[in-house]
């Protein structure tokens, strides 16, 4: 993105369309060796298979093989965080969990993994940089209450153990937040004309005190390069932000009594809609209609940092059917949960979106990428068509899975040229 600064520097962050990554940390590092147990789908899978295929069918799938196959439905990006940055992603939707004191070690089930599947052994580097990264710089203006509370190799920040925060999806965990911060810090240090926005709006396993301390930890870690407040994000040009070294915007979802320096409350400032029922239904037509409605409602308001989420999920039962048949080799093609209308209209055939069977191969889908690929491939055409129907629109970030399939960066650059 740095090569385009000459074209963009007169704009504020609220007048850009940033390429975004949904669940940015859910990459090929996602694994089942260190589980966030409340998010695990193993029990739900067993209950569903027992109810639809009989209790005896459950014994055909071990927990290890389930996780090895199910992981592929929870990977949102083939590129790691560093590669996403290098590739042009500038808005990062972060889905994080705090493991706390729960048991983290799971049985070694790598021997059960099928060839080519995401394995639990694909973990981030053993290197664990501590809270005070080499490029941290203390500000003389930093209030004592917000200063670093850790020293040496201690990872505690108040009530929060920062070493136990990981990118997370349905129980599986990937890169730690501390490692991600190190990568981000190095990138921004070596690219003085780049700006990045982070969204901390999907947190699990944090109590209120830990949510407060996480905000303080973020503020301390990046104190000198944070965009100071909402007015600076909306009214200050990139040229000025580069001069004052305010190049990291942070939106924070949890409600706090007071927000530390540079932490912008999502409430009232960030519009990042999500309809769980439609978004996780597997109905791609209904999802597209919802995205179009969301664009029409928010893209012309210019009062919030507006993110359009383009990351549908398959119906969870359809995913379980696909995982089961992939593991056992069965070809029952058991119908997953569908609406009555869909059953009435197409009772004897598989439905793309509701079905777990790839109509091109006749086999169960093997991954989220395979299921979502056609939607992502058609996203630029869809976005051009929908946005052309509205006047004075501004989408501040287009958040997608699989940036290369969706051509997220190219799409956003083109839209910014259109509306320059």
DSSP 402: S
Domains parsed from the chain with CATH numbers: 2-30+74-99+157-314+365-418 (3.20.20.190)
Q: pLDDT of 239-267, one tens digit each?
A: 999 999 999 999 999 999 999 999 999 99
Please name which of 174, 217, 157, 190 lies closest in space to residue 85, comparing C-alpha atoms.
190
Provide the pLDDT confidence category of residue 105 given band limits of 50, 70 and 90: very low
What is the average pLDDT score of the chain?
Answer: 83
Most confident listed range (41-45, 110-114, 273-277): 41-45
* pLDDT digits 0-9 by tens, 191-228: 999 999 999 999 999 999 999 999 999 999 999 999 99
Phi and psi (nearest 5°) for 126?
A: -70, -15
* Kind of pairing between the strands at 165-169 and 91-98: antiparallel
Mean pLDDT is lowest, of 339-343, 353-357, 400-404, 415-419, for 339-343
Would you say residue 142 has pLDDT above 50?
Answer: no
Residues with Cβ within 8 Å of residue 17, at least 6 apart in sequence:
394, 395, 396, 397, 398, 412, 415, 416, 419
Find the mean pLDDT for residues 273-287.
92
355 band by pLDDT with thresholds 50, 70 and 90:
low
- Asked whether the predicted pLDDT for residue 354 surpasses 70, the reply is no
Q: Is the pLDDT of residue 122 over 90?
A: no
pLDDT for 5:
57
For the chain, the helix, strand and coil percentages under 3-state DSSP, each to the nearest 5: 40, 15, 45
């Amino acid at each position: 993105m740095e090569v385009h600064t000459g074209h963009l520097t007169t704009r504020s962050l609220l007048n850009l369309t940033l390429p975004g990554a949904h669940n940015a940390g859910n990459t090929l590092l996602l694994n089942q060796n260190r589980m966030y147990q409340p998010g695990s789908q193993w029990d739900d899978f067993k209950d569903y298979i027992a109810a639809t295929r009989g209790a005896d069918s459950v014994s055909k799938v071990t927990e290890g093989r389930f996780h090895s196959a199910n992981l592929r439905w929870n990977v949102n990006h083939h590129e790691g965080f560093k590669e996403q940055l290098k590739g042009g992603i500038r808005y990062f939707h972060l889905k994080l969990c705090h493991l706390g004191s729960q048991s983290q070690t799971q049985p070694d089930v790598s021997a059960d993994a099928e060839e080519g599947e995401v394995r639990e052994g694909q973990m981030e580097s053993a290197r664990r940089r501590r809270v005070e990264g080499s490029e941290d710089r203390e500000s003389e203006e930093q209030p004592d209450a917000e200063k670093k509370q850790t020293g040496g190799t201690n990872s505690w920040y108040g009530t929060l153990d920062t070493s136990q925060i990981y990118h997370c999806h349905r129980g599986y965990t990937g890169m730690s937040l501390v490692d991600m911060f190190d990568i981000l810090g190095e990138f921004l240090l070596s690219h003085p004309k780049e700006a990045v926005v982070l969204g901390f709006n999907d947190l699990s396993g944090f109590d209120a005190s830990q949510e407060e301390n996480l905000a303080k930890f973020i503020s301390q870690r990046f104190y000198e390069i944070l965009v100071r407040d909402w007015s600076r994000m909306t009214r200050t040009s990139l040229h000025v932000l580069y001069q004052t070294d305010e190049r990291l915007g942070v939106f924070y979802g949890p409600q706090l009594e007071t927000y530390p320096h540079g932490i912008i409350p999502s409430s009232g400032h960030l519009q990042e809609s999500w309809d769980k029922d439609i978004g996780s239904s597997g109905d791609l037509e209904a999802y597209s209609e919802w995205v179009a409605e969301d664009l029409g409602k928010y893209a012309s308001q210019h009062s919030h940092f507006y993110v359009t989420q383009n990351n549908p999920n398959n119906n969870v039962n359809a995913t379980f059917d696909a995982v089961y048949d992939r593991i056992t080799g069965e070809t029952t093609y058991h119908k997953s949960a569908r609406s009555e209308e869909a059953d009435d209209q197409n009772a004897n055939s598989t439905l793309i979106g509701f079905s777990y069977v790839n109509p091109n191969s006749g086999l169960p889908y093997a991954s989220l990428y395979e299921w979502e690929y056609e939607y992502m491939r058609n996203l630029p055409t869809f976005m051009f068509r929908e946005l052309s129907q509205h006047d004075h629109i501004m989408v501040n970030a287009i958040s997608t899975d699989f940036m290369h399939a969706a051509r997220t960066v190219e799409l956003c650059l083109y839209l910014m040229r259109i509306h320059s």
